[in-house]
Amino acid sequence: MTRAIDVRGLNKSFGDKHVVRDVTIAVDEGRITGFLGPNGSGKTTTLRLLCGLLTPDSGEGEVLGLNFRTESAGIKRQTGYMTQRFSLYDDMTISENLTFVARVYGLDDRAGRVDRALARLGLADRRHQLAGALSGGWKQRLALAAATLHEPRLLLLDEPTAGVDPKARREFWDEIHELAAAGLTVLVSTHYMDEAERCHDIGYILHGELIARGTGRQIVDASRLITFNGEGPDIDRLAHKLSTQAGVISASAFGAAVHVSGLDRAALEKAIQPYRQPPYRWTEVAPSLEDVFIQLMGDPRNERPEDRTEDPRLS
């Protein structure tokens, strides 16, 4: 399979803030890769560095077969970028917005491109509606149509469905999968776990470092996290009590159940031991991606590098 992205040792600072640290990443063509991580961890900056919108302080490699430092103009021409905020014109119709984008980018066959984009994204019937009158889900579809009008090979989506309802999110993701099936490589940042699960691969970024990479299953397996699911009365209070016990990394209520996770099986079993008898019921379950991300965030080995007293990875 051809690599769409193969970049090593990527670094970026803003003033004295080191926001992307030694990121090395390879992505095969046609894959959907999700970037997850807390607010401010460096997801947007990494996306922008990869497509040449920002200049890295260091790093080397290729994006779409081009040198990502010296040939960024060529990369940008073949990249679609959808920013966090809807950035089209509210007082223009859907088709006027798309025609405008086609004109700004000097695209050929403008009418044909706009028609194809409208048809592909199910926007044809609404082409004369003002963009400002669209619901959040339709606005995101329009933004996606605009970002793909020039038929890019690489698509960067920065939290594309923030605030969009679940049905519209699902349809948006169906479209992303269709684009990927046609060969487009997609990098997407998100905070939604259901979206993470729809990505082929995931990268988890914390304090600018890419600390976990692989399929969802690979990341869960590599975490070695152990999770118990408990059901019974007064779950919220139980979750709170368990969260203070030694060896418990997280204990959270999900409806009528509590999810208790940790890395030390003996400590975890000791914590839940007082609640082992009926009416409580416990089963060991596979950790969710969310359980794993919470563990990664709280792991002292993943502290902000400047806060580390010594490098625990060496011990």
Ligand X SMILES: Nc1ncnc2c1ncn2[C@@H]1O[C@H](COP(=O)(O)OP(=O)(O)OP(=O)(O)O)[C@@H](O)[C@H]1O
DSSP 8-class letter at 66 = E
Q: Quick check: 95 binds ligand X (CB under 6 A)?
A: no
Residues in the chain: 315
Among 19, 102, 235, 294, binds ligand X (CB under 6 A): 19
Among 43, 113, 126, 153, binds ligand X (CB under 6 A): 43
Q: Quick check: 213 binds ligand X (CB under 6 A)?
A: no
Q: In the complex with ligand X, which residue's Cβ is closer, 40 or 132? A: 40
Residues 49, 56 contacting (CB under 8 angstroms): yes
Q: Quick check: 41 binds ligand X (CB under 6 A)?
A: yes
Q: In the complex with ligand X, which residue's Cβ is closer, 42 or 230? A: 42
User: How many Cα atoms within 13 Å fall on the side-chain side of residue 179?
Assistant: 29
Among 7, 21, 25, 44, binds ligand X (CB under 6 A): 44
Instruction: Give the Cα-Cα-Cα angle 174, 83, 173 (nearest 5 degrees).
Output: 5
DSSP H/E element including 186 = strand 185-189
Least separation, in Å, of the C-beta of 216 and ligand X? 19
Least separation, in Å, of the C-beta of 227 and ligand X? 25
Q: Quick check: 40 binds ligand X (CB under 6 A)?
A: yes
**Residue 245: Cβ-neighbour burial (10 angstroms; 0-12, 13-18, 19+):** middle
Within 149-208, the residues that bind ligand X by CB under 6 A are 189
Closest to 260 in 3D by CA, of 279, 21, 280: 280
Q: In the complex with ligand X, which residue's Cβ is closer, 24 or 283? A: 24
Q: CA 59 to CA 208: how far, in whole Å?
A: 14
Q: Quick check: 39 binds ligand X (CB under 6 A)?
A: yes
Amino acid identity of residue 237, one-letter, is R
Q: From residue 260 to residue 289, what is the string marking binding to ligand X with x (rule CB under 6 A)?
A: ------------------------------
Q: CA 228 to CA 286: how far, in whole Å?
A: 8
Structure tokens, 88: 């089209």
Q: In the complex with ligand X, which residue's Cβ is closer, 19 or 260? A: 19
Among 4, 7, 25, 42, binds ligand X (CB under 6 A): 42
| Segment near ligand X (CB under 6 A); pick from 11-19, 109-117, 176-184, 210-218 | 11-19
Q: Quick check: 37 binds ligand X (CB under 6 A)?
A: yes
Q: CA 295 to CA 311: how far, in whole Å?
A: 18
> What are phi and psi for residue 186, nearest 5 degrees?
-125, 130
Binding site for ligand X (CB under 6 A): 14, 17, 19, 37, 39-45, 189
